């Protein structure tokens, strides 16, 4: 069984966000994980948050434990601090669930 995280973001700096993605992807792959879907959205018809959303994606992990290890990895946290926080206005976890 795998584990999937579904995310929604409001990205306000596309170039800096791409720098974040480029820097974090090797770390994500180290954990045997990858993006499953990735959408740039222009219209949100319904939302449970007041935050704006212009990006929706999934990240697939081998397990919930691997996901937690990735998000607490010092290398990842450094990349997040340097690039993610400078490019993303808001972040919403839409869902977390096991996959087949």
- 57-95: per-residue pLDDT in tens? 999 999 999 999 999 999 999 999 999 999 999 999 999
Give CA 82 to chain center in angstroms.
15
83 burial via Cβ count (<10 Å: 0-12, 13-18, 19+): buried
Query: Is the entire prediction scored with pTM above 0.85?
Result: yes
- Average pLDDT over every residue of 44-57: 96
Give CA 71 to chain center in angstroms.
10
Write down the CATH number for the domain with range 2-99. Answer: 3.30.70.100
Q: Which two tokens stand for residue 14?
A: 């596309």
Query: How far apart, in Å, are the Cα atoms of 21 and each of 14, 46, 58?
Result: 10, 27, 13
């Amino acid at each position: 069984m795998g584990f999937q995280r579904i995310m929604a973001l409001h990205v306000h700096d596309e170039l800096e966000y791409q720098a974040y993605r480029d820097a974090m992807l090797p770390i994500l792959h180290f954990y045997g994980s990858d993006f499953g879907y990735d959408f740039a959205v222009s219209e949100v018809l319904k939302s449970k948050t007041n935050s704006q959303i212009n990006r929706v994606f999934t990240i697939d992990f081998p397990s919930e434990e691997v996901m937690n290890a990735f998000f607490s990895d010092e290398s990842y946290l450094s990349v997040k601090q340097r690039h993610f926080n400078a490019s993303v206005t808001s972040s919403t976890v839409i869902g977390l669930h096991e996959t087949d």
